[in-house]
Amino acid sequence: MRTTSLLKSFSLFLVLAASKPLAARLTDYVNPLIGTGRIEGALRGNNHPGATVPFGLVQLSPDTREAPDWDCPAGYAYEENLVYGFSHTHLSGTGAADLIDILLLPTSSKSRSASMDHASEEARPGYYAARLTDDDILAELTATTHTGIHRYTYPEGARQQVYLDLDHSAAKGSWGRRIEKAQLRIVDAHTIEGFRIITGWAPLRKVCFSIRFSKPIAAVHGWNDGREWEGKDTSSLFFNGTDLKATFTFAGEGRELEARVGISAVSIGNARLNREHETAGRSFDALCASARQQWEAVLSGINARFSSDADATIFYTALYHAMQQPSVFSDVNGDYARADYQIGRVREGHDFFTMFSIWDTYRAAHALYALLQPARAADMAMSMIDHADHYGYLPIWELWGQDNYCMIGNHAVSILVEAIRKEVPGIDEQAAWRAIRRTLATPHRDSPWPLWERLGYMPENLQTQSVSITLEDAYDDWCAARLAERLGLTDEMKHFDALARNYRNLYNAESGLFQPKDDKGNWMEGFDPLRYGANGGSAYTEGNAWQWRWSVQHDIGDLIALSGGQKYFLNQLDYFFTCKDTSGEKNDNASGFIGLYAHGNEPSHHVAFLYTLASQPQKTDQLVDHIRRTMYNDEVSGYIGNDDCGEMSAWYVFAALGLYPVNPASAEYVLFAPSVEEATIHLPDGKTFRIETSRHGKRAVFVKEIRWNGRKLKRPVISHHDLLQGGTLRFELTSKHDGSLLKL
């Protein structure tokens, strides 16, 4: 565990709070219920409201679905009032369901579900509470990195029971999910332990647990693969099966009952060690206060002032969501489950991470980690390299130590190169290069290597999603070229730079779009630029040809040249943001439309900033202001699309600050009008980077001038290196603008 760095961060927060008193703790601006409800006509954020600490493995939250699936992957939907219990692991904002392990439900009547009163619901960083109205039980939750802590308050004189379900999971019908093996052991009157091995989106996940109750078990009533058992002799009982459930009845005085649940992917012993190390000798209230302090320390990386509390709530909740995952996977003794199903041990003072939704988060979330959490960003990078060492190549979508192969590209390449070019300390650059080189030259699922080298593009008749894969792998090759250049590997740099231009081979000058070809070099017939693809069966991934038109983040200058020059490029951008035409059904991930722009899914996220790079910054200012105001809010319906492990949230954080990493591995940010009044970003070495705005006019959302440390910038771009030196970025904003705007 990195307890030392956490204490240092918290000490920094105390110093800052003492030197400049805040109107409220930053955690007071966070509402974990944001993103748990549905926006009409769009996706929900798929966030969960439960208790967790920054980057915690335990994300302890209520499940309002008996078997969460695609419509509710985080297990919780605000509009529902029935709770099946509180499980200890959840994904935040994803489009597919998994985890949802080890479910507990307090009851007085052996119930397997309970009605919930949303009026009594309370959610804040590190704490969740709700009253279960059927039995009038108050359930309170808090967490440490590996342990979930429950406090249940029963009515006076009521029977105190807890239902445990080791079969509860995401829907068994998805991803071939099933329980392969489970075990439940009653160790003593206060302790139960066990494990389950479950396969699903992530193959063969082992989840071990150790639960310590504050009162002795007086009786147990269980179900084991359809067989029922009941008794009062609760010592040293083992049960093995695939469908284990039990209701425990407790003895003792007082209305409160606590359960402390340690988990581990390695062993029951490590689950017990995690629980004891993180919670022994500390009360529920003390643990809850510690969780909040950890969040306060992380959020205080940015002290921002807004014109309204609503904007502050959206901002700090977005920062909170972005810092939930990836999750610490290593136990308190450094053990972790490797990708080859062996046990590894991380270096002392470091953490091993899991839950990398890379296709989403390489765009902005990892840029946020590099800026605000460089020590953790280094551990994330080394975790990816370790994965490649034991699995053969870098992760694509890594979940619980395994790759689920979801989405396309190998954007761990981008994340590694970005961190190295941003001078994040603690990354072995030679090891990173070996992992990247092996990944880009090893045949594996969706690997472009054999066809990529021979044809210079992916042919749709041999590789579905061919256009999207071509564009994304060209970007990864550009990233590889930059690391080769840094390491002085000239031949490798030239090789990957040539591959990075492969996107040109699918550009059709007649349509002005990237189109699919077959392996003979012929354009595929039946092309419809507005037709959406999903995750196979089309040349485009979760979008259409127009939404993928702009995915050459590494060479916008050449993209403009391909378009016939700046004038034509801008005309195409205007069409993209104003087109009302459509054909066929939209992909399920498409939401948050401005014309054909779909903010609810990641391929569109950088496009609004291209106006600035093409010399029409007023349109970037207009669009970003519109997106901030209309596609995020401070209610449960706060996100226009899936948050995707914090990527939608990271976009908002950067958008509020007035800088965005269009090409994250370039180590540069495009600048535009921020929504913050002022912000101070605290850099790891004690330096500060300040953002100040001076507004002229009621709707001053257009940039008139940008100054960096008093010097007027000629180009609206700033490097990460410059930010790390500290200083002040000052925006002068006006309600007037030079040039036309879009009719939104």
- Chain Cα centroid distance, residue 434: 26
Q: Residue 444 pLDDT more than 70?
A: no
pLDDT grade, residue 173 (50/70/90)? confident
With both helix axes pointing from N to C terminus, report the angle between 490-499 and 466-486 in degrees, rounded to the nearest 10: 160
Give pLDDT, residue 436: 97
The pLDDT tens digits of the residues spanning 24-36 come to 799 999 999 999 9
Q: Residue 231 pLDDT more than 50?
A: yes
Segments of the chain assigned to CATH 2.70.98.10: 39-299
Give pLDDT, residue 3: 38
pLDDT grade, residue 693 (50/70/90)? very high
Mean of pLDDT values over 430-444: 89
Q: How would you class 743 by CB atoms within 10 Å of its CB: exposed for 0-12, middle for 13-18, buried for 19 or more? A: exposed
Q: Residue 589 pLDDT more than 80?
A: no
Give pLDDT, residue 238: 80
Q: Residue 682 pLDDT more than 90?
A: yes
Phi, psi of 96 (to 5 degrees): -130, 155
Pick the more confident residue, 267 or 38.
267
Report the top-level CATH class of 39-299. mainly beta
3-class SS letters over 211-273: EEECCCEEEEEEEECCEEEEECCCCCEEEEECCEEEEEEECCCCCEEEEEEEEECCCHHHHHH
Percentage of the chain surpassing pLDDT 90?
A: 88
Give pLDDT, residue 226: 83
Alpha-carbon Rg for the chain in angstroms: 26
Residue type, 360: D
pLDDT grade, residue 42 (50/70/90)? low
Q: How far apart are the first and last CA of the chain?
A: 49
Give the integer Cα–Cα distance in Å for 299 and 314: 13
Give pLDDT, residue 39: 73
Give pLDDT, residue 239: 87
Give pLDDT, residue 1: 41
Q: Residue 4 pLDDT more than 50?
A: no
Report the range of poorest mean pLDDT among 445-459, 618-632, 694-708: 445-459
Q: Residue 8 pLDDT more than 80?
A: no
7: CB partners within 8 A, 6+ apart: none
Segments of the chain assigned to CATH 3.30.2080.10: 303-734
Give pLDDT, residue 623: 98
pLDDT grade, residue 711 (50/70/90)? very high
pLDDT grade, residue 446 (50/70/90)? low
Give the integer Cα–Cα distance in Å for 88 and 149: 10
Give the integer Cα–Cα distance in Å for 513 and 534: 18
Mean of pLDDT values over 166-177: 96
Pick the more confident residue, 315 or 231.
315
Give the integer Cα–Cα distance in Å for 702 and 649: 23
The pLDDT tens digits of the residues spanning 374-423 come to 999 999 999 999 999 999 999 999 999 999 999 999 999 999 999 999 99
pLDDT grade, residue 297 (50/70/90)? very high
Give pLDDT, residue 697: 85
CB 440 within 8 A of CB 410: yes
Cis peptide before 326 (omega within 30 of 0): yes
Give the integer Cα–Cα distance in Å for 727 and 661: 19
The pLDDT tens digits of the residues spanning 609-643 come to 999 999 999 999 999 999 999 999 999 999 999 99
Give the integer Cα–Cα distance in Å for 532 and 544: 5
The pLDDT tens digits of the residues spanning 73-118 come to 999 999 999 999 999 999 999 999 999 999 999 999 989 999 998 9
Query: 3-class DSSP state for residue 73?
Result: coil
Give pLDDT, residue 365: 98
Structure tokens at 629: 């105001």
Q: What pairing do the DSSP bridges indicate for beta strands 727-734 and 688-696?
A: parallel
Strand partners, 213: 259
Q: Residue 186 pLDDT more than 70?
A: yes
Question: How crowded is residue 739: how many other Cβ atoms within 10 Å of its Cβ?
Answer: 11
Between vectors from CA 191 to CA 186 and to CA 193, what angle results, nearest 5°? 60
CB 726 within 8 A of CB 689: yes
pLDDT grade, residue 447 (50/70/90)? low
pLDDT grade, residue 11 (50/70/90)? very low
Which regions of 109-236 does DSSP assign to beta strands (E)?
A: 114-124, 127-132, 137-143, 147-153, 161-165, 178-188, 191-199, 205-213, 217-224, 227-231
Q: Residue 441 pLDDT more than 50?
A: yes
CATH superfamily of 303-734: GH92 mannosidase domain (3.30.2080.10)
Q: Residue 7 pLDDT more than 60?
A: no
Give the integer Cα–Cα distance in Å for 346 and 344: 7
Helices assigned H by DSSP within 422-555: 429-439, 449-455, 466-486, 490-499
Structure tokens at 573: 């951008």
Give pLDDT, residue 9: 41
The pLDDT tens digits of the residues spanning 470-523 come to 999 999 999 999 999 999 999 999 999 999 999 999 999 999 999 999 999 999
Structure tokens at 269: 């012993």
Give the integer Cα–Cα distance in Å for 421 and 444: 27
Give the integer Cα–Cα distance in Å for 26 and 6: 17
Handedness of CA 156, 159, 164, 169 (dihedral sign): negative
Give the integer Cα–Cα distance in Å for 532 and 583: 8
Q: Structure pTM? A: 0.95
DSSP letters of 649-698? Answer: HHHHHHHHHTEE-SSGGGTEEEE---S-SEEEEE-TTS-EEEEEEEEEST
Give pLDDT, residue 739: 80
Q: Residue 49 pLDDT more than 60?
A: yes
The pLDDT tens digits of the residues spanning 360-373 come to 999 999 999 999 99
The pLDDT tens digits of the residues spanning 316-333 come to 999 999 999 999 999 999
Which regions of 31-146 does DSSP assign to beta strands (E)?
A: 61-63, 82-83, 85-87, 103-107, 114-124, 127-132, 137-143
